[in-house]
């Protein structure tokens, strides 16, 4: 019987946590069919089976965290795998938003006796599947529905192909839909309150798996990559004029490049000229990449996700704008796919929309650098002995000193500035 192993769903993934099994022991599986939802270091993702057959054994229960390559299930003929259990497969350890219960043994099999019955909400998608109409919902929507007791089978999805997304679940929950009652042991709370102290009431919140990984990776980045920072001010007056012309020329429904799209394009062109900035320091050597893939930091679900604009140096501004908007939308509704989160060679992080004028970002290891972009402000400047105004934007480049040295980083940043100050070069 072939094993289904914990897949690598992103280039930086080292382990994954089983969130939900979409199939039960005894179910038939087709190639390309979604069988399990897995929480990785970047997002929650549904894994599509690469084998066909009958699910004969589940080796990893919901909430279990396993390294890449570790078997999580077996597929074969039903006659080879033994009879399926009488009831639904239940997890031997309770979970909270996909976080592993540390009191449960690692890799505990899903066939262990459950701590309580299964809620009606958790059974809703399975029941719909048995009726021949599997509920189509993003992983984030499924998790939110489980938290709020919303029956997904009663929701009409607004996403592509009728897919239920997060906003659909929120709308159903806020509309006064009663939460499904359960006869189970309540799910462990996300937070707990400690006795009041001199600081007032203290509330303890457990981070999600994604937040735990972000915390670990950012700590590792600061601890292992010797950061140094280069700052400059870019005059965006001509970029403001150019965007105004692009907006006036745009057809109905056509993506209008934002200033961040211009920054992505400028970085991509500069990365092509400075290979060290488009590389990484790994295992004692330099890795230089032929493709220029710019990651764009997007805030989602109280965490940070970095989807990738591939070959940004070869794309026009309008294509970059369309790609960036599509990726941000997928991150927010939970439909982002593993390939769209992989392969980044450099990252742009923009907080200008929040009014932040200057900040220093942490490098997304093992990349060589990250550009932090602030807000564009109209300020007085001295020009030709007189005072006038200009649109100015502050940027800060964080560099990994093991591969990107001071002079190289300064030249790279100067090239980015030159391209943005004369945006005609972005179209070349």
Select which of 227, 285, 391, 401 is catalytic: 401
Q: State which H helix or E strand residue 147 sits in.
A: helix 139-148
Instruction: Provide CB contacts within 8 A for 110, sequence distance 6+.
Output: 21, 58, 59, 60, 61, 62, 89, 90, 91, 92
End residue of a domain, out of 174, 208, 229:
174
Q: What is the dihedral of CA 121, 123, 128, 134, to 10 degrees?
A: 90
- Mean pLDDT lowest among 126-135, 176-185, 297-306, 398-407: 176-185
Regarding whether 263 and 148 lie in a shared domain, the answer is: no
The highest-confidence range among 45-59, 319-333, 404-418, by mean pLDDT, is 404-418
Token readout for 305 is 């996700």
The answer to whether 67 and 7 have CB atoms below 8 angstroms apart is: no
Indicate which CATH number applies to the domain containing 100: 2.40.50.100
Say which residue the tokens 């009488």 belong to. Answer: 86
Q: What is the pLDDT of residues 58-115, one digit of tens each?
A: 999 888 888 889 999 999 864 444 444 434 333 333 323 233 333 333 333 333 334 4
Q: How many domains does the chain have?
A: 2
Instruction: Provide CB contacts within 8 A for 274, sequence distance 6+.
Output: 408, 411, 412, 415
Q: Would residue 90 count as lying in a domain?
A: yes
Is pLDDT above 90 for 133? no
Q: Would residue 207 count as lying in a domain?
A: no
Is pLDDT above 80 for 240? yes
Indicate which CATH number applies to the domain containing 262: 3.30.559.10
Regarding whether 391 and 285 lie in a shared domain, the answer is: yes
> What does the alpha-carbon distance between residue 168 and residue 177 come to, in Å, rounded to a whole number?
12
Of residues 190 and 397, the one with the higher pLDDT is 397
> What does the alpha-carbon distance between residue 69 and residue 5 come to, in Å, rounded to a whole number?
5
Regarding whether 228 and 360 lie in a shared domain, the answer is: yes
Please confirm, yes or no, whether 401 is among the known catalytic residues.
yes
Is pLDDT above 90 for 1? no
DSSP state of 352: G
Regarding whether 138 and 12 lie in a shared domain, the answer is: yes
Q: Would residue 346 count as lying in a domain?
A: yes
Q: What is the pLDDT of residues 161-182, one digit of tens each?
A: 576 877 788 888 877 444 343 3
Q: In the prediction, which pLDDT does 280 show?
A: 96
Regarding whether 168 and 239 lie in a shared domain, the answer is: no
Q: In the prediction, which pLDDT does 419 show?
A: 97
For the segment 236-251, the average pLDDT, to the nearest whole number, is 91
Q: Where are the alpha helices (DSSP H) in 225-273?
A: 237-249, 259-273
DSSP state of 299: E
Regarding whether 246 and 338 lie in a shared domain, the answer is: yes
Q: In the prediction, which pLDDT does 81 show?
A: 44
Token readout for 389 is 């105004």
The highest-confidence range among 72-86, 127-141, 318-332, by mean pLDDT, is 318-332
The answer to whether 298 and 274 have CB atoms below 8 angstroms apart is: no
Regarding whether 137 and 28 lie in a shared domain, the answer is: yes
Q: State which H helix or E strand residue 427 sits in.
A: none
The highest-confidence range among 99-113, 290-304, 356-370, by mean pLDDT, is 356-370
Regarding whether 365 and 265 lie in a shared domain, the answer is: yes
Q: Would residue 202 count as lying in a domain?
A: no
- Mean pLDDT lowest among 67-81, 180-194, 358-372: 180-194
Q: Would residue 187 count as lying in a domain?
A: no
Q: Would residue 197 count as lying in a domain?
A: no
Q: Would residue 183 count as lying in a domain?
A: no
Using alpha carbons only, what angle is made at residue 95 by residues 171 and 133, rounded to the nearest 5 degrees?
A: 50
Regarding whether 156 and 88 lie in a shared domain, the answer is: yes
Partners of 399 in beta bridges = 228, 369
Q: What is the mean pLDDT of the chain?
A: 80
Regarding whether 238 and 150 lie in a shared domain, the answer is: no
Dihedral sign of CA atoms 70, 75, 80, 85 in order: positive
End residue of a domain, out of 136, 154, 174:
174
DSSP state of 158: -
Regarding whether 369 and 243 lie in a shared domain, the answer is: yes
Q: Is the pTM of this model over 0.75?
A: no
Regarding whether 20 and 135 lie in a shared domain, the answer is: yes
Residue 258 pLDDT level (bands cut at 50, 70, 90)? very high
Is pLDDT above 70 for 282? yes
Percent of the chain with pLDDT over 90: 43
End residue of a domain, out of 143, 174, 205:
174
The answer to whether 375 and 355 have CB atoms below 8 angstroms apart is: yes
Q: In the prediction, which pLDDT does 158 show?
A: 73
Q: In the prediction, which pLDDT does 406 show?
A: 96
Question: Where in the sequence is the domain holding 35, given as residue range(s)?
Answer: 3-174
Residue 121 pLDDT level (bands cut at 50, 70, 90)? very low
Q: What are phi and psi of 248, to 5 degrees?
A: -70, -30
Q: Would residue 24 count as lying in a domain?
A: yes
Q: In the prediction, which pLDDT does 192 show?
A: 54
């Amino acid at each position: 019987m072939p094993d289904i192993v914990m897949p690598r769903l992103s280039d930086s993934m080292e382990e994954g946590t089983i969130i939900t099994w979409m199939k039960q022991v005894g179910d038939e599986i087709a190639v390309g069919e979604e069988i399990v939802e897995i929480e990785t270091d970047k997002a929650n993702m549904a894994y599509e089976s690469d084998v066909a057959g009958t699910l004969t054994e589940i080796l990893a229960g919901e909430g279990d965290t396993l390294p890449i390559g570790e078997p999580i299930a077996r597929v074969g003929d039903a006659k080879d795998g033994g009879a399926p259990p009488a009831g639904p497969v239940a997890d031997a350890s309770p979970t909270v938003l996909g976080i592993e219960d540390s009191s449960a043994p690692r890799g505990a099999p899903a066939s262990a006796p459950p701590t309580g019955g299964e809620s009606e909400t958790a059974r809703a998608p399975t029941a719909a599947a048995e009726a021949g109409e599997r509920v189509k919902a993003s992983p984030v929507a499924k998790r939110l529905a489980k938290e709020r007791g919303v029956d997904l089978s009663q929701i009409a999805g607004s996403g592509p192909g009728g897919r239920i997304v997060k906003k659909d679940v929120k709308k159903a929950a806020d509309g006064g839909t009663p939460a499904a009652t359960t006869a189970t042991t309540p799910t462990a709370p996300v937070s707990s309150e400690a006795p009041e102290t001199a600081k007032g009431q203290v509330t303890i919140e457990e981070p999600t798996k994604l937040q735990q990984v972000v915390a670990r990776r950012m700590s590792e980045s600061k601890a292992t990559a010797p950061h140094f920072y280069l700052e400059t001010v870019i005059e965006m007056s001509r970029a403001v004029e150019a965007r105004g012309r692009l907006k006036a020329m745009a057809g109905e429904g056509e993506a209008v490049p934002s200033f961040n799209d211009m920054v992505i394009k400028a970085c991509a062109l500069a990365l092509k000229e400075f290979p060290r900035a488009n590389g990484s320091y790994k295992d004692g050597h330099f890795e230089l990449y032929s493709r220029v893939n710019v990651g764009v930091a997007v805030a989602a679900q109280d965490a940070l996700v970095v989807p990738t604009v591939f070959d940004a140096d070869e794309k026009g501004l309008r294509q970059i704008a369309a790609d960036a908007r599509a990726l941000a939308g997928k991150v927010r509704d939970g439909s982002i796919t593993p390939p769209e989160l992989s392969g980044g060679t450099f990252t742009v992080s923009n907080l200008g929309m929040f009014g932040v004028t200057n900040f220093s970002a942490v490098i997304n290891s093992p990349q060589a650098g990250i550009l932090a972009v602030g807000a564009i402000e109209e300020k007085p400047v001295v020009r030709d002995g007189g005072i006038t105004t200009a649109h100015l934007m502050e940027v800060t480049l964080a560099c990994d000193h093991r591969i990107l040295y001071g002079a190289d980083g300064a030249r790279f940043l100067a090239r980015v500035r030159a391209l943005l100050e004369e945006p005609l070069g972005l179209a070349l």
